[in-house]
Amino acid sequence: MESIEEPLSRSSLVAYRAQLLEQGLSASTINVQLSAIRQLAAEARRNGILDSETAASITDVPNVRQQGTRTGNWLSRDQAKELLAVPDQEKLIGKRDHALLALLLGCGLRRQELAELKFEDIVEREGRAVIVDLVGKGRRVRTVAVPFWVKQSIDRWTAAADIQDGPLLRPVSKSGKPGKVALGDWSVWSVVERCAKEIGIQNFGAHDLRRTCAKLCRKSGDDLEHIKFLLGHSSIQTTERYLGSEQEIAVAVNDTWSL
């Protein structure tokens, strides 16, 4: 709030909110900033810097309403295959990148979830590999089935890198040696963006592969309840919004006529 030269108050936050709207920022971007300021006000109240009435008035400032549903980006099945073919699996880093992409595509993990994944998190249950007790957004716990083709990719990477415990995905040095620490979530994002550019897709991130997983599951006939559990959503409504289930693009309503 650098450009609004007055103490933190409801009126200054409302003015800042209006300023962000004038800048043409998206509703989600503005709401993230408003949320941070509300948290700051709450902390200031707890430390006696703001009085309770002022803090309460700040937290009452509403978010910007987002009209419609953001569709986002995703890949077709053929594009997903093309993306998986980008990493050179003759090299150690290529094996790692293939396992990274396979986990995002096949298991629908969030970027942070993948970055924090450990070798021992993948176990066998009922005759198949699963990621057990994965703690996701909102501290929701779920168990994620690992498709056979994804497990094969993981095994190729861990065998080549001699990983038997600890972080599953790790940096690889220029000399081709795996590190000891976990690959950071921004490194995950960087791998996805780089590989997507290789197949001619710009501005594509790790979360888009999570959406791709959900879309491909839906197109294969899976019901929303199963997809909800896979993604770790709190409700079916969240999954519906995520998939854009009410909007069909491949066969759209405005394809039924022509001029």
Return the structure tokens found at 199.
């197949």
**Mean pLDDT, residues 130-159:** 92
Q: What percent of the chain has pLDDT over 70?
A: 88
* Six token digits for residue 91: 């090299």
pLDDT tens digit string along 80-114? Answer: 999 999 999 999 999 999 999 999 999 999 999 99
Q: What is the pLDDT of residue 194?
A: 95
The total of other beta-carbon atoms located within 10 Å of residue 235's CB is 9
pTM of this structure: 0.69
pLDDT band at 251; cut points 50, 70, 90: low
Average pLDDT, the chain: 86
Q: What is the pLDDT of residue 1?
A: 46
Residue % of the chain over a pLDDT of 90: 42
**Distance (Å, rounded) from C-alpha 64 to C-alpha 76?**
33
Amino acid at 58: I
Answer whether residue 246 shows pLDDT above 60.
no
Span 227-254, average pLDDT: 71
In sequence order, which residues have a C-beta less than 8 Å from that of residue 62 and are 6 or more positions away? none
